[in-house]
A and B are shown apart, each in its own frame.
Chain A
Amino acid sequence: MTSEVTDLLIKWSDGDQTALEALAPLVEVELRRLAHHFMGGERPGHILDTMGLVNEAYLRLVKQNRVRWQNRAHFFGIAGQMMRRILSNYARDQRRLRRGGGALRVSLSEVALVTHARLEEVLAIDEALARLAAYDPPDGERMCQVVEMRFFGGLSVEEVAEVLRVSVSTVNRDWKFAKGWLARAIGGGAPETDA
């Protein structure tokens, strides 16, 4: 099993997207397990929004899975894509539920309200990313991956560079441009802020 996963990871980092399809469920299960471990029994609170936890989660995951995840970059590369998928599906579900159950009273705690706003943002990013991927092929797709890994996966610029096998400065350039492009796409127009 281990070698299969390793093989898949290598294939994926060589650009084989079908390998990702095979890995995705594994990663999702790992993520879910991890999430349950951290959130087990506790109500979501502000402390969970700190970077410290993300790092701890990552370290723990890597430690536990050293057999499966040969390196941090591979894991986070996939984790980023997965997280994008999970979050945007979830956000769509929530939106649908709210619409479908319009007559019902929806009680949301303050935390949940924050979550709600954040989810809407995630959804907007997800949708904009789909358009960014088509920008200036083939670079748009890479920019898209950079965002996935940085924003959804929590990778550093250096790590992204390692996964994508490009230079750090390329990742930096992609990241900045994508931020500008996405901010404009979502914010609904920079000219006002420019003015």
Chain B
Amino acid sequence: MRNFEQQVRGLFDIALQLGAEERVAYLTRECAGDENLRREVDSLIGAYEGHAGFLEQPAWSLGMRVLSSDTAEDLTGRTVGSFNILRLLGRGGMGDVYLAEDTQLGRKVALKFLSSKLAHSQWAKRQFAKEAQAVAMLDHPNICTVHGFEEADDYRFIVMQYVEGKSLDQLIPDSGRTPEDAFSLAVKIASALTAAHAHGIIHCDIKPSNVMVTAEGKLKVLDFGLARLVQQRRDGAGGGPSPSSSLRRGFIPGTVAYMSPEQLRGQKLDYLTDIFSFGVVLYELIGGRNPFTHDSEAETISAILTGQPEPPRVGGQLARELHRVARKCLAKEKERRYQSFSELLSDLEALPKRGGVRKRRYPNVRAAAAAVMLLLLITVAAFAYGYMTRTRVIAVLPIANETGDAKLDDLGPGMSENIINKLTGLSGLRVKPYTAVKDYGGRQNDLREVGRALGADAVVVGRFISTADGTPGLQMVMIDSDSGAQLWGSVYTMELAEVYHIEDDISRHLISKLELWPLRDEAVRANVARARNPAPSMNAVRTRNPHASEQFMLGQYFWRLRNKENIKKAIEHFEEAIRFDPLYAQAYAGLAECFVLMNTVHYGEMSTEDAMAKAEWAAKHAVKLDDTLPDTHTSLGLVQMKFHWDWQAAEREFKRAIEIDPEFAPAHYQYSSLLALTRRFPEAVAEGELARKFDPFSSAAKMNYCRIFYYAHDADRALPCFEGLVKEEPGYKNHRYMLGLVYLSREAYPEAIAVLEKLYGEDRRLTGSALGYAYGVAGRRADALRVLSEMEQLQSGNSHIPPQEFAIIHMGLGDREKAFAFFGQAAAARFGPLAGINVDPLFDRLRPDPRFAALLSALNFPPPPPR
């Protein structure tokens, strides 16, 4: 039985094939008085015949037009937000770009509008804004500056620097650029990408049309992160994992001929995809053509996946060298490419610039120098720790060249000077300046004599020698000037240096040499033993890039030697490590901890807002990169504790870190500090003991341990504890500062003032509040007011003094109103160390005040217990 619709279709079909008269007869017969049926068929036939051309012209070309422009709108002449749009600069798959005038700032900018497809998804919008923010943080002469992301009048767009010039694809002649040109362009592009990678931004769409060159020859790389955004959008579009997501991932609208094999395969992308695309561009710069382009896209893809590019038909030394670099970038397996742009850059920079006769090159000399420097630092650190009670003097003599190869003559002194500069400024150590040692180059017969003449406790001397297989080697020796004993010595070949696994070898192998030293401290012995047989945490340096790992260790070294300068140095080294390996989770964790320290009165002057933003970013990034490391969880916990005062969240992170590695000292240390701040003193002591046990070198861990007693109002134990520490490490200011506080808590004002006055002479910023308070409670108002005004002067200079410091002085002066006003400011600014007020005896006088309870509640603490 046919239903109504089937009847309609059947009648319609046959009726159309009949002439007018036959049709009427046919329909009249078939409908048999069914008016409804008849009307329906008639109306359909009428519509069919009345619209003859309907649907006959496919919408294909309309679609092509829409796809190619994505918007038929031309915004020229319009005003969007505060921008007057002047003219269209270009249309791309991602959206249109206009030249516009920023009427607020009176400058010309380029606006990149989100294509309508992207603009209407909330998700894409958020990502786009986030990405634009990240790129806006990049500040590099070869990166087109992104000013920000804006939404106005229902449009969404990125505001960026307007670069007037030509894109590189218009600037490469068929014969290619000259090798010198190609070289200088390549260096600029590579340095832009180095900077971007250091900030965790992958470009994903490096090609000549994304590189602009201005009339003055300035080069700017455009569109950072945008391609990746589209990629993410494609990943995210399906809403959860689906079998197709891996397939979708790599398909980015773009030019296939510059994509890496992994990009074409739709695999997950990392920084190495940019290395490949850069290689294609470099190849094109030299040879004038893309090495993979074929007539059909399929052939192009196949060439990228399996083909070997032909050498470009160009001669000359430099061109050949550049081609060698390009080929390394173009390795199909990403493991065989350069592993970072810094590595690539240093290779590029080692090339002979003018195509002349090439010097014999020792490609690994830089690596060797860095490795040696690290060895020295580690050794010297142990040296300094071994004699903490007085400053040690060390002399590093110029490295002599005994290979007979004149090329190495210049290298030795340069390396020595470099090492001296790096060592200078370490606490507990004085390094003879280069000018003092420069005449001691060459072979020295009696190093003890040299040491005595220079007034140095130890002398480091090195020489280049020829090893058995003809490669140059570097022999380093450190001699004790008193006894003439060799403290350590080693030979490194240049090849060895590059593959040297610092985490596995250098630290263990060299620190074990410390046994030769007069070790007076049980703790140092313990650490040497531990270094020789490291716990997993010490060994788990998760990078395959030896340069990165080396920088990381240097960063950790300086971080441990906490003082203002060293924290800054640590930040530099961690950032350097990230530059070598942008996926190095531990280096981000290290950075986060440094930024936390930068917001304390002891170590840094970074504002809370700045420190918090940076620390939080770095810590979250670290955990994202690797959440199986104790380091990353510790850094995140620290951020939760210091900036969010989220005690539960912080505790979770520390516990997780300890669960991963029960011997991870920093986690015990921070956890102990958290427990003390939250009044869980017995647990805090237990954790503090573990922190000391697993890192006996750490001055901070020692200080933390004694501080628990102080916080617990147990001055009888705190006092001898800190007295011992001050004797042990007189150079460590925090011990003395804490000793002053302990005296204060016992109301031993003269003793407190004596300690603090001396310290105030060395570090006003650190000590001012405690000293001012001490004067105040001791009844020396005039002195207290003097300190107050000196602190205010410091503040009005360039030094950021946390409001809490002023609160403490006013507290000593008995001015509660002012004290609470400043505490309020500190709480509003989320100044991390403010949390100490929960337990610190210094604040006991204010505890009964109801405003104090409010302050504690802002810190997420319960009200003070009745005393």
Question: Which residues of A does B touch, CB under 8 Å?
Answer: 1, 4-5, 8, 18, 21-22, 25-26, 29, 31-36, 38-40, 44, 48-51, 53-54, 57, 63-68, 83, 86-87, 89-90, 93-94, 97, 100-101, 104-108, 112, 115-116, 118-119, 122, 125, 135-136, 139, 147, 150-154, 173, 176-177, 179-184, 187, 189-191, 193-194
Contact = CB atoms under 8 A, between A and B. Distances in A.
Q: Which of B49, B55, B265 has the most CB of A within 10 A?
A: B55
A179 B55 contact: yes
A191 B43 contact: yes
The 10 A-B residue pairs with the shortest CB-CB distance, nearest first, are: A22-B244, A39-B68, A180-B48, A193-B50, A194-B46, A190-B46, A190-B47, A184-B47, A35-B67, A136-B5
Given A35-B63, A35-B65, A38-B68, 10 more contacts: A22-B243, A22-B244, A32-B67, A125-B55, A135-B5, A151-B58, A176-B48, A177-B9, A177-B12, A190-B48
A106 B59 CA distance: 24
A170 to B, nearest CB: 10
B76 to A, nearest CB: 8
Contacts of A179: 48, 51, 54-55
30 contacts: A1-B247, A1-B266, A25-B251, A32-B93, A34-B64, A49-B61, A54-B60, A67-B298, A83-B60, A86-B66, A87-B62, A90-B66, A93-B116, A101-B154, A104-B153, A107-B77, A108-B72, A115-B62, A122-B59, A136-B6, A153-B60, A181-B47, A182-B54, A183-B47, A183-B50, A184-B43, A184-B46, A190-B44, A190-B47, A190-B48
B818 to A, nearest CB: 54
Contacts of B58: 51, 54, 150-154
Interface in B336-354: none
Contact of A194 (B42, B73, B248): B42
User: Which secondary structure dominates where chain B touches chain A?
Assistant: helix
Nearest to B67: A35
Interface in B577-634: none
Interface string B351-391: 00000000000000000000000000000000000000000
A106 B153 CA distance: 14
A191 B296 CA distance: 52
Interface string B32-52: 000000000011111111110
A36 B93 contact: yes
B245 to A, nearest CB: 9
B328 to A, nearest CB: 25
B61 A54 contact: yes
B3 interface: yes
Contact of A22 (B42, B117, B154, B248): B248
A147 B54 CA distance: 12
Contacts of A135: 5
Contacts of B154: 97, 100-101
Interface in B644-680: none
Nearest to B77: A107
B253 A33 contact: yes
B583 to A, nearest CB: 25
B238 to A, nearest CB: 7
B43 A190 contact: yes
A87 B66 contact: yes
B150 interface: no
A39 B50 contact: no
Contacts of B65: 35, 39, 44, 48, 115
B36 to A, nearest CB: 14
A190 to B, nearest CB: 4
